[in-house]
A and B are shown apart, each in its own frame.
Chain A
Amino acid sequence: MHTVRFNSAPEAAHVPTGTLLVEAAGQVGIDIQQPCGGQGRCGRCAVIVDSGAVRRRSTLRLSSADIEAGYALACQTVIEGDAAITVPPQEQIERRLTTDLTAREVPIPAGYNPFEAQPIRRLSLTLSPPTMDDQTDDWSRLQTAARQQTGVENLRVSLLLLQKLGHVLREGGWQVEVLLDTDEARLIDVKAGYPADDAPLWGIAIDIGTTTVTVWLVNLLTGEVKAQVAEYNGQIARGEDVISRIIYSGKNNGGAELRRLILNTINTLIETACQRTTISADDILKATIAGNSTMMHLLLGIPAQTIRLTPFVTAVNTVPCLTAQEVGLAIHPEATVDCLPGVASYVGADISAGVLASGLDDTEAITLFIDIGTNGEIVMGNKEWLVTCACSAGPAFEGSGVLHGMRATKGAIEEVWIHTTTHEPTFRVIGNVRPRGICGSGLISLLAEMFLTGVVDKGGNINLSLQNPRVRMGEHGAEYVIAYAKETGHNQDIVITRVDIDNLLRAKAAIYAGFTVLADRVGVPLAAVEQVLVGGAFGKYINVEKAVEIGLLPDMSWDQFHFLGNTSIKGAYLALLDRRARTRIQHIAGRMTYIELSADNSFYEAFTSALFLPHTDLARFPSVKVN
């Protein structure tokens, strides 16, 4: 018998050789969670072996660094001698297993100094009143005072502000609060009296995705993100991908309607963010917008037809600075609106911003950056060179276009495990509530599990001959029940259908094909890629192994992958705070070489080849083994 001590139990366990660690823990009353049913596949039962003799039967889900640090999967590790074990809190394990920077606290750029880095200023000015000896006009008087404090020459002003200027100056007794954008040399507002000492300056970063729109409310003085809100793009009902949106925008008043819809979505999000932080939207003085080229055109009401037609050009890649009033944003009407620059029709500002946020343009290592959304944009390169392409994946990974899909919010199933022999699922729901649907990361996880456990074959066909009532014929053909009505938050069965699976297969195939074609075109073999950075608003968690198992991501060691969350909004945030970051984005956009896949006759071949689990060419995925 061996003595096994656990950090969280007063008693030691006494067990024979070959006892599983989970069983030893159970003996002293420690219930280690095993969502995958003890198959060593979910990694959530990881514990630390501080000392002693154990044998790890499987270390799937553990990196070599983890093993070196003493980690072992409790369900896969047997006792072979006395041992001391630390059971980390489950929370800690989850954080170790996933990298997510989106919904967590956003790190403020190191050494952030709002007065050096960003251009929005609030000034308290005292003007000398005009006299018979000094008949300088009101505006020149303000310009001069502002120049004396900020050095800004030739300050510009709108007619609306001029119309109220004289009154405001006199009402405040020549003491005024002045808001201006020093980079644009433009007056944003002037108010009577001095501002409060602690008055914040607000900005917003906006990411307009084809499917999901995200808004961050940012305190420009501290760099802090005070609210993060996201919602489906209101244009979805008018087409799920950019092409159908462009077509819609060309019909009747489609363009105007789409513009109204996206403005509604953004303005509602801004309102929500403001309510959450109890600020007034009028206090938001700058917005930085990232988004794909089509979204940018539709937002600005610029005809987007040429994006769709050969030779696929945009009306504009680099939009000059605008005001909120012109754009239609419900923030301060004179607020500066900075639309980030795009590269080409199908590689937009979201990617320029994403490359910045990912740091790809500043690394020595040959890096692959994939932004997985409705469009999958891929950038390959390093500080020396950058090439990019785009492929249409559809909205499945954002939880749209799938029967029970939903955004990665409370109530979304975000990870699934299926038992190898019983085919019974276990899942984790965001917010630990009853599930209402399944989000992108949940769909990836589900598809991988269905594949590995034989619920679907390599072609994605549901195996109706399984002896399990969860596999059945439904309204939309064959389906698999993830949660029965009695377990869900809306009293409906949550299922995945054959049609959903086809959508997911097409989505993952488009992205993988884009990757292979891009790599072939630049002549860089897969083995030369040193790291893969994955961006995209799938949700909080994405499991790299599962993404590899379905053939969405290339079969590489899992420590070569880094999940960055929504890199587009992060890039927009950085550009909002720092003009150097903004300049870098412009530089990135200028450096990227765009490869048009529709002009590449190998894409379709690569696509149909990838329409399989994990891939028709099995040699590309040596690590994927079906149970």
Chain B
Amino acid sequence: MPVEIPKDTWAGQVRTITLGATAAEGGTRSHTVTIGGQKSLPFMHFEHEAPYPPLVALEIKDRRPDDWSALLLERWGDVVNAPGDWAKAAEAAGAELIVLALSLTDANGEPTRPEAAVAATKAVLASTGLPLIVWGPGQAEADNELLVPVAEATKGERIAIGLCEDKNYRTLVATAMANNHLVIARSPMDVNLAKQLNILISDMGLPLDRILMDPTTGALGYGIEYGYSVMERLRLAALQGDGMTQLPMIVTPGYEAWKTKESKVGAGMPDAWGSWEERAITWETITAMTLIESGADIVVLRHPESVRRVQTAIKDLNSVREMA
């Protein structure tokens, strides 16, 4: 007896957003990437084909990070000392996007200088053709001080800068508008707050197809269900036609997963916990896949093996329809 699969039809659609600009478009990227456009929940091919699969980005830093797990530093090796080299290695590892995270201080403990941030960004752009996202250090003043010159120096590249938050978004949005970039709007795990920030940013005149939402998440075992639920509700609202939630979502499972004790600590763990590296990669992979299932359009990872596994999983999920 044939089984009839019920199908939902939604009124709304996620916006299509393109990052990066090729030479023809006023930038220097070898190609652009596009996300969004969904008319159904993730991987519901039988309801509606998603035009663009989720993307996997790799996070790199402008200098050797002080607080990253030894596993990551070991895996990346010397490239962590030069952002250009690191970006090239990340591209080789399969990244579809590069996230350059600027540090609050330089190797001497002095505040990162704007010129240094610009130099790091340019080095990354020079060494890879991938579209770029640049994060500030995460403190309002430092973010504004570093990201404005970075945005100006990369005018026309359609990079995404962030993170805009409800108390600090004006400067970043203004510079993104002036230099033809995108912004990332980060809100603390709440549907209303995410929506409010999108409204504030678009009120300044930045078109909605230049805003990515980062609704914040937690790692597996560290609150992922809250993040999952908020993202799912945002996506449901978008599909139901709420224009201010119809933005693609970017989340940071790499950052979250590599903060956990399970990933960070190698010594003194019970035998049953198994191999440290395998555990850490699994933690990052499962966190990322869970969030992709809840609607993430870009997941930012840290370990090359996680990139490979997540990309394989996405491919597998997308190939299910061929079996059917």
Pair A608/B193 contact, Cβ less than 8 Å: yes
From known contacts A457-B203, A458-B200, infer whether A611 and B166 are also in contact, taking CB-CB under 8 Å: no
Which residues on the A side are within 8 Å of B193 (C-beta)?
608
Chain A residues within 8 Å of B178, by CB: none
**Provided the pairs A461-B166, A463-B170 are in contact, do residues A616 and B190 lie with their beta carbons within 8 angstroms?**
no
**From B243, which residue of chain A is reached at the shortest CB distance?**
A618
Q: Indicate if A512 sits at the interface (CB-CB under 8 A).
A: no
Number of chain B residues whose Cβ lies closer than 8 Å to a Cβ of chain A = 14
The interface bits of chain A over 443-470 (1 if a CB of B lies within 8 angstroms of the residue's CB, else 0) are: 0000000000000011101010100000
Which residues of A, 237-268, contact B by the 8 Å Cβ criterion?
Answer: none
B18 at the interface (CB under 8 A from A): no
> Given the complex of chains A and B, what is the CA–CA distance between A129 and B269 in angstroms?
101
| A388–B191 CA distance with the chains assembled, in angstroms | 28
By the criterion CB–CB under 8 Å, are B170 and A616 in contact? no
A468 to chain B, nearest CB (A): 16
> Scoring B residues 183 to 203 as 1 if CB is less than 8 Å from chain A, else 0, what string do you get?
000000011110111011001
In the bound assembly, the distance between CA atoms of A612 and B195 in angstroms comes to 10
> Which residue of the partner chain, among A461, A463, A465, A609, contacts B192 with CB atoms under 8 Å?
A609
Contacts of A459 in B (CB 8 A): 166, 196-197, 200
Q: Is B7 an interface residue (CB 8 A)?
A: no
Determine how close the nearest CB of chain A comes to the CB of B276; give it in whole angstroms: 40
Q: Does B261 contact A (CB under 8 A)?
A: no
Q: Which residues of B contact A463 (CB under 8 A)?
A: 170
Contact across chains for B200 and A608 when beta carbons are under 8 A apart:
no
Query: Nearest Cβ distance between residue B94 and chain A, in whole angstroms?
Result: 38
Please tell me if A91 contacts chain B, counting CB pairs below 8 Å.
no
The reply on A605 being an interface residue by CB < 8 A is yes
State whether B196 touches A465 (Cβ < 8 A).
Answer: no
- A307 to B: closest C-beta gap in Å: 29
- Compute how far the CA of A605 lies from the CA of B190 in the bound complex, rounded to whole angstroms: 9
Bound state CA distance, A605 and B192, in angstroms? 8
**Complex contacts, A465 vs chain B, CB 8 Å:** 170
Per-residue CB proximity of B154-187 to A under 8 Å, as 1/0? 0000000000001100100000000000000000
- How long is the Cα–Cα vector from A605 to B166 in the complex, in angstroms? 18
Chain A, residue nearest B197 (CB): A459
User: Once the chains are docked, how many angstroms separate the CA of A103 from the CA of B192?
Assistant: 40
A457 touches B192 (CB 8 A): no
For A459, A461, A605, the residue with the greatest tally of chain B CB atoms inside 10 Å of its CB is A459
Q: For the complex, would chain A's binding face be called helix, strand, loop or mixed by DSSP majority? A: loop
Total cross-chain contacts (CB, 8 A):
33
Q: Nearest-CB distance from B16 to chain A (Å)? A: 23
Interface of B is mostly: helix
Q: Is the CB of B192 within 8 A of A611?
A: yes
How distant is A601 from chain B, measured CB to nearest CB, in Å? 13
The reply to whether B170 and A618 form a contact with Cβ atoms under 8 Å apart is no
Within 8 A of B (CB), among A585-627: 605, 608-609, 611-612, 616, 618
Chain B's closest residue to A605 (CB) is B192
Closest chain B CB from A509 CB (angstroms): 10
Instruction: Please tell me if the beta carbons of B199 and A618 are within 8 angstroms of each other in the complex.
Output: yes
Are A458 and B192 in touch, CB under 8 angstroms? no
Least Cβ–Cβ distance between A284 and chain B, in angstroms: 51
User: Roughly how many angstroms separate A605 CA and B193 CA in the complex, as a whole number?
Assistant: 10
Q: A458-B200, A459-B200, A608-B190 are in contact. Are A616 and B195 (CB under 8 A)?
A: yes
Q: How far is the CB of B194 from chain A (nearest CB, A)?
A: 10
- Within 8 Å by CB of A461, from B167, B190, B195, lies B167
Indicate which residue in B167, B170, B191, B196 contacts A612 across the interface (CB closer than 8 Å). B196
- The distance in angstroms between the C-alpha atoms of A459 and B256, with both chains bound, is 28
Complexed CA–CA distance, A605 and B229 (Å): 13
Select which of B167, B196, B203 is within 8 A of A616 by beta carbon. B196
Chain B, residue nearest A608 (CB): B192
Interfacial chain B residues near A618, Cβ < 8 Å = 199
8 Å CB contact of B199 from A461, A605, A611, A616: A616
Closest-by-CB residue of B relative to A465 is B170
Min CB distance, A530 to chain B, in Å? 29
The chain A residue sitting closest to B242, CB to CB, is A617
Q: Mark B214-255, 1 if CB is under 8 A from A, else 0.
A: 000000000000000000000000000000100000000000
Residues of B within 8 A of A609 (CB): 192
B202 CB, min distance to chain A CBs, angstroms: 10
Which residues of B are found within 8 Å of A616, using beta-carbon distances? Answer: 192, 195-196, 199, 244
- Establish whether residues B203 and A458, one from each chain, have CB atoms under 8 Å apart when the complex forms: yes
Please name all residues of chain B whose beta carbon is closer than 8 Å to the beta carbon of A611 when the two chains form the complex.
192, 196
Q: How far is the CA of A241 from the CA of B193 in the complex (A)?
A: 26
B residues whose Cβ falls under 8 Å from a Cβ of A: 166-167, 170, 190-193, 195-197, 199-200, 203, 244
A-B contact pairs, 28 of them (CB 8 A): A457-B200, A457-B203, A458-B196, A458-B200, A458-B203, A459-B166, A459-B196, A459-B197, A459-B200, A461-B166, A461-B167, A461-B170, A461-B200, A463-B170, A465-B170, A605-B191, A605-B192, A608-B192, A608-B193, A609-B192, A611-B192, A611-B196, A612-B192, A612-B199, A616-B192, A616-B196, A616-B244, A618-B199
Contacts beyond the supplied A461-B166, A618-B199: 7 A-B pairs with Cβ under 8 Å: A459-B200, A461-B200, A605-B191, A611-B192, A611-B196, A616-B195, A616-B196
Q: What are the 10 tightest A-B residue pairs by CB atom distance, in nearest-first order?
A: A608-B192, A609-B192, A616-B192, A612-B196, A459-B166, A459-B200, A616-B195, A616-B196, A457-B200, A458-B200
